[in-house]
Amino acid sequence: MKKKVLVTGGAGFIGGHFVQRMMNRYPDYHIYNLDLLTYAGELSKHKNMEKRENYHFIKMDITDRKAIMVLFAKEKFDFVVHFAAESHVDRSIINPEIFVRTNVLGTQILLHAAHQNKVAKFVHVSTDEVYGELDFDPTIFFTEESKLLPNSPYSASKASSDLLVRAYYETYGLPINITRCSNNYGPFQFPEKLIPLTISRVVQEQKVPVYGDGKNIRDWLHVFDHCSAIDLVMHEGVNGEIYNVGGHNERTTLEVVKTIIHKLGKSESLLEFVKDRKGHDKRYAINPTKLEKLGWIPNFSFEIGLTQTIQWYLDNKWWWNKQL
């Protein structure tokens, strides 16, 4: 029997790339893309697959318990890969309630449906932000054993959902894995995020806002490398285990913005330092050794990945212009 894979949030940035990877690499799998199509979800990236018999789109809210239970009972999924989430920190500061509803309640509903219908593996895609922040010591990294110390409503909601996933493994024996990734970048990323925001602003010669002094450090991970990691964990991950996915590409916000400005041949006068974000974590950095021992190797250096990403945004202004 062909495997059935439910991908929640498959119209979003990372989930969308994962759907593409599954369709391209596993033609015998049936891929179910479940998405509510909120502001950051769109389906143009999947136009090439819409007529394929093993691709199925379902517009549904993961917090609709009745609809989710009916869907799981009907389709009997083999795998669930759960991306669907509210994920923008600034939005979580303004309206935290929607983050709790989607990220916590929605995850619990999916877990319950997976448990009731004997899903073979539930992969929960989380974030390094659940660990809180690191200082600027370059020898210290987040590991899977690091404490959960979230500092924003977004990261707190993701940490809560992580704990629910763990509880369904410990209490009910649901086969699960949790992945925690560093900052993603690549094609089709919604232009509220740093890299596409900077590219779109610089191309239009508009000011690029930089929080505080711009010295906050993030570890950057190409979305293709992230999706290859999730694919590996889905198929080879040890039940109950957490895997950190890091890019080995630490940069300050200011470095990232300046690099994009220079690659586009513009002036640093476009930089605009603005009031710092509330609860702004100083540094994130991941040790991905555990995942590497499972067999994962990232393919993109930040230099190559960023150059290719900039070119994609230059070649696809039609896409990001309609998002602005």
Higher pLDDT, 248 or 256: 256
Q: What is the 3-state secondary structure (H, E, C) of 5-69?
A: EEEECCCCHHHHHHHHHHHHHCCCCEEEEEECCCCCCCCHHHHHHCCCCCEEEEECCCCCHHHHH
In a domain, 210, yes or no: no
Average pLDDT over the chain, rounded to whole?
A: 95
Q: Which residue in the list 32, 131, 154, 168 is annotated as catalytic?
A: 154
| Structural domain includes residue 206 | no
The reported pLDDT for the residue numbered 324 is: 67
Residue 184: enclosing H or E segment and its boundaries? strand 183-185
Clarify whether 129 is annotated catalytic.
yes
Residue 298 CB neighbour total at 10 angstroms: 21
* Higher pLDDT pick, 120 / 38: 120
In this prediction, residue 50 carries a pLDDT of: 86
Catalytic residue chosen out of the listed positions 42, 129, 225, 281: 129
Is pLDDT above 90 for 219? yes
Instruction: Tell me whether residue 128 is in a domain.
Output: yes
Active site residue 154: yes
Residue 321 banded pLDDT, cuts 50, 70, 90: confident
91-146 pLDDT, tens digit each? 888 888 999 999 999 999 999 999 999 999 999 999 999 999 999 999 999 999 99
The pTM for the full model equals: 0.95
Flag the least confident range among 69-83, 225-239, 309-323: 309-323
Transcribe 193-205 into DSSP letters.
SHHHHHHHHHHTT
Please write the tens of the pLDDT for every residue from 148-159.
Answer: 999 999 999 999
What's the pLDDT score for residue 1?
61
Average pLDDT over residues 171-192: 96
State the pLDDT at residue 278.
Answer: 83
Least Cα distance to 208 among 249, 151, 262, 160 occurs for 262
Asked whether the predicted pLDDT for residue 41 surpasses 90, the reply is no
Angle between helices 13-25 and 223-236 (to 10 degrees): 60
Domain assignment present for residue 120? The answer is yes
Decide if 197 is inside a domain: no
Average pLDDT over residues 11-16: 95
The yes-or-no verdict on residue 195 having pLDDT over 90 is: yes
Q: Is the pLDDT of residue 181 over 80?
A: yes
| Range in 38-42, 46-50, 305-309 the model is least confident about | 38-42
Q: Which two tokens stand for residue 106?
A: 């929605």
Ramachandran quadrant class, 198 (left: phi over 0; alpha: psi -120 to 50; beta: rest): alpha
Residue with tokens 């991970």: 221
Residue 262 lies in a domain: no
How large is the average pLDDT for residues 27-38? 95
Domain count, the chain: 1
For residue 58, pLDDT beyond 70: yes
> What is the SS3 assignment for 173?
coil
> Domain containing 172 — which CATH number?
3.40.50.720
Structural domain boundaries enclosing 60: 4-185+220-248+283-301
The catalytic position among 35, 86, 128, 133 is 128
Paired tokens of 136? 């600027």
Residue 116 located in a structural domain: yes
Q: Is the pLDDT of residue 289 over 90?
A: yes
Q: Is 75 a catalytic residue?
A: no
CB 83, CB 7: distance < 8 Å: yes
Percent of the chain with pLDDT over 70: 99
Q: Do the domain assignments include residue 256? A: no
